[in-house]
Structure 1
């Protein structure tokens, strides 16, 4: 936490053990996001002959099975999710996703990016995370009318998290210390230094 408390700290200037820890965290986060893509693929059932309309229908059938045709429901795989199960999944993600967002957001704040870029990307990641948490419920209650929220919010979440993790990792390991700002002495230290020079 001491690194975050100093406004002069940059990702490239972090101690090596801290860099290794943050890099490992980002690696596990990427693995988790890739597993989400795999789960999404199982829901929509990607295939060489699958049309966008079919993928869309599979998504709606999974989260809103009563809106699908009987034949489509009978062929659906995996089994459609229940309201209770969806609530349990949302409950878990409401606690876990903000923590991931907090950590990668702090990492991005340690970079040399401008204030506007930091504000923009962090805002985008917050919006993408919130939208993706709500997306299954949009499909569950409104069906095909709002099913587009799911893939769009998922893409926004992946893109924003990629930036929030990619930029700090690049600055950490590309050239250590290159992005570090110059050291500025505290006002009291500067005055004491001046007095010492005059005494000489």
Structure 2
């Protein structure tokens, strides 16, 4: 762990064993993401009206509104799991050669997506259906940042090549 605090410690300096370990985790996270997208598609679709139907119920789609207990159970589970997954992904992303502002922006997008994704179902059910737009935005932020947090490290570990120093330095002007 103390290696993470060294500024020279990044994806281009880690060992092959570390690359395989991190890559295995990231590939499994990608598989988890794909199953999540399939679940989204089956349960709620990819539209704001379908989110409203899913949470508030729909007679024509034969959906019951989500109960307090159902929301509570899902919220409880997600409050423990989503932050842990993102803690690990963001921790790994800190090894990337991205600018600090980029890293900070991705952290902010991830956190905002988590809050919206976990919190807006309550607002959709108990406040107003317009909050489905917040859920939709939360999903975009969460899934977009998730893919970047997985894809960028994999790309840096396996596809990115450090520029080689020139054998023929340019003469001073």
Indicate whether the TM-score tops 0.5: yes
Which residue is equivalent to 2:152? 167
Aligned-residue Cα RMSD (Å) equals 2.1
Tell me the equivalent position of 2:111. Answer: 126
Q: 1:174 to 1:131 in 2, by over 3 A?
A: same
Q: After superposition, where does 1:130-145 map in structure 2 within 5 Å?
A: 130-145=115-130
- Equivalent residue, structure 2, for 1:186: none
C-alpha contact 1:138 1:146 (8 A) present in aligned 2: yes
- Equivalent-residue separation in structure 1 for 2:5 and 2:141 (angstroms): 29
Match in the other structure for 2:51: 59
Change (3 A) 1:144 1:85: same
Give 5+ residue unaligned stretches, structure 2.
Answer: 164-173
Aligned to 1:8: 8
Q: In structure 2, the residue corresponding to 1:149 is in which secondary structure?
A: helix
* Runs (4+) off by over 3 Å: 55-58
Please name the residue that 1:147 is paired with. 132
Residue segments in structure 1 that go unaligned for 5+ positions in a row: 47-54, 180-200
1:198 matched to which residue of 2?
A: none
In 2, the alpha carbon distance for the partners of 1:101 and 1:129 equals: 9
C-alpha distance in structure 1 between counterparts of 2:114 and 2:20, whole Å: 26
Cα distance between partner residues in 1 of 2:62 and 2:30: 29
Residues 4 and 110 of structure 1 are in contact (CA less than 8 Å); yes or no, is this contact kept in structure 2?
Answer: yes
Which structure's relative contact order is higher, taking Cα pairs within 8 Å and 6+ residues apart?
Answer: 1
C-alpha distance in structure 1 between counterparts of 2:49 and 2:160, whole Å: 48
**CA deviation after TM superposition for structure 1 residue 38, in Å:** 1.8
Structure 2 residue corresponding to 1:103, chosen from 80, 84, 88: 88
